[in-house]
Structure 1
């Protein structure tokens, strides 16, 4: 007879802590839209503002949060700052969210 596998609650709690930390930055509509747009490739702030309709102050604030959380990185080219998603776990989460919630063609 097979014995049920015991769940290591300490490991489960640590995993839950990591999962919550990964999901918190995504629990904001503007940040989620920014990340979804950035999955299409690197983009500058002015392009993001135009495509998403998020005003500059809010856009800068939310991009700062994403940068502080290590989800996006920047590079400067002249006067423009370009953003890109650098966290592979965030990309995987976004892919699942897209498949569940975004309209199908």
Structure 2
């Protein structure tokens, strides 16, 4: 039996739409930097701004996009809001991107 005929087109289309949504969200240098940093753990906004050199307005806007897309989650501790990576899919893609583009010893 030809396995290509058993593909569920509707499921493939839904998966493709989901993947495109994730890739569209990742297609921004500031959001990529944020997600890369968040793969290392939980950070408050001021730490992210200091470590990544992203201005406060841009940082807040991009964290809002990531939160709305379900890629990050927040935790409040007093006046501080801490962000952490919340998407296994985003973590897996970030792992591949790191290995392909950022790993030590990788020629650029």
Q: Report if TM-score (shorter chain) is over 0.5.
A: yes
Runs of 4+ in 1 over 4 A off after TM superposition: none
Query: After superposition, what is the alpha-carbon deviation per residue over 1:70-103, rounded to whole angstroms, capped at 9, x for unaligned?
Result: 1111111112110001111110111011111114
SS at match of 2:17: helix
SS at match of 1:48: helix
- The two structures have a TM-score, normalised by structure 1, of 0.91
Whole-Å separation in 1 of the counterparts to 2:2 and 2:78:
63
Query: After superposition, what is the alpha-carbon deviation per residue over 1:14-54, rounded to whole angstroms, capped at 9, x for unaligned?
Result: 21111101211101000010000000000000000000000
- What is the 5 A alignment of 1:1-105? 3=2, 5-6=4-5, 7-105=7-105
1:4 to partner: Cα distance = 5.1
SS at match of 1:47: helix
Name stretches of at least 5 consecutive residues in structure 2 with no aligned partner: none
